[in-house]
């Protein structure tokens, strides 16, 4: 797992701008996620505001840990195993990533430059690959194809 120094800086500085609007960002994220794939809604039980706070907290842990990716990988692997218990499937990571990018684009506006977007795509791909590999031992990121198309 590796990211360039520029990717880390772009991710950390852009997420710092999202933190003040974390509750709204979480609302945007889940609204977009469920519009992309309504079948995911039943996976989320309980208070969605609390779920949003957990989401933003988890992203913050990952963003803060970009300089120690091996530790973050261990946390992500444990999270992936918990997600199996919730019914998350290997292909569910795609709409989540797309909803995350949409949320950042919406929340950051002009600050979401093409370089910032690419940095987030890079980090999400790393995160998703680590989690899918942990949860699905036969997962191969090089051959995985998700046929669903999501548009920002």
SS3 137: coil
pTM of the predicted structure, to 2 decimals = 0.87
pLDDT tens-digit profile, the chain (152 residues): 568 999 999 999 999 999 999 999 999 999 999 999 999 999 888 899 999 998 999 899 889 999 888 888 888 889 888 888 888 888 898 999 999 999 999 999 999 999 999 999 999 998 888 888 888 878 777 776 654 555 54
Q: What local confidence, expressed as pLDDT, does residue 1 receive?
A: 52
Residue environment code for 5-26, b if the CB has 16+ CB neighbours within 10 A, otherwise e: eebbebbeebbeebeeebeebb
Domains of the chain: residue spans and CATH = 11-135 (1.10.490.10)
DSSP string, 8-56: HHHHHHHHHHHGGGHHHHHHHHHHHHHHH-GGGGGG--S-HHHHHHHHH
Provide the pLDDT for residue 64: 92
Of 117, 102, 113, 80, the C-alpha closest to 151 is 102
How far is 55 from 44, CA to CA, in rounded Å?
12
Virtual torsion, Cα 68, 87, 56, 123, nearest 10 deg: 40
pLDDT, position 104: 97
């Amino acid at each position: 797992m590796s990211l360039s120094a520029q990717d880390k800086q772009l991710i950390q500085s852009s997420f710092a701008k999202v933190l003040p609007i974390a509750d709204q960002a979480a609302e945007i994220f889940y609204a977009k996620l469920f519009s992309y794939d309504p079948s995911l809604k039943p996976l989320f039980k309980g208070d969605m505001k609390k779920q949003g706070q957990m989401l933003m907290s988890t992203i913050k842990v990952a963003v803060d840990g970009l300089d120690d990716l091996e530790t973050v990988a261990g946390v992500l692997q444990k999270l992936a195993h918990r997600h199996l218990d919730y019914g998350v499937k290997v292909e569910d990571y795609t709409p989540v990533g797309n909803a995350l990018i949409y949320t950042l684009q919406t929340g950051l506006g002009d600050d979401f430059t093409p370089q910032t977007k690419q940095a987030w795509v890079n980090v999400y791909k790393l995160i998703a690959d680590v989690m899918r590999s942990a949860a699905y031992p036969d997962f191969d990121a090089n051959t995985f194809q998700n046929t669903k198309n999501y548009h920002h």
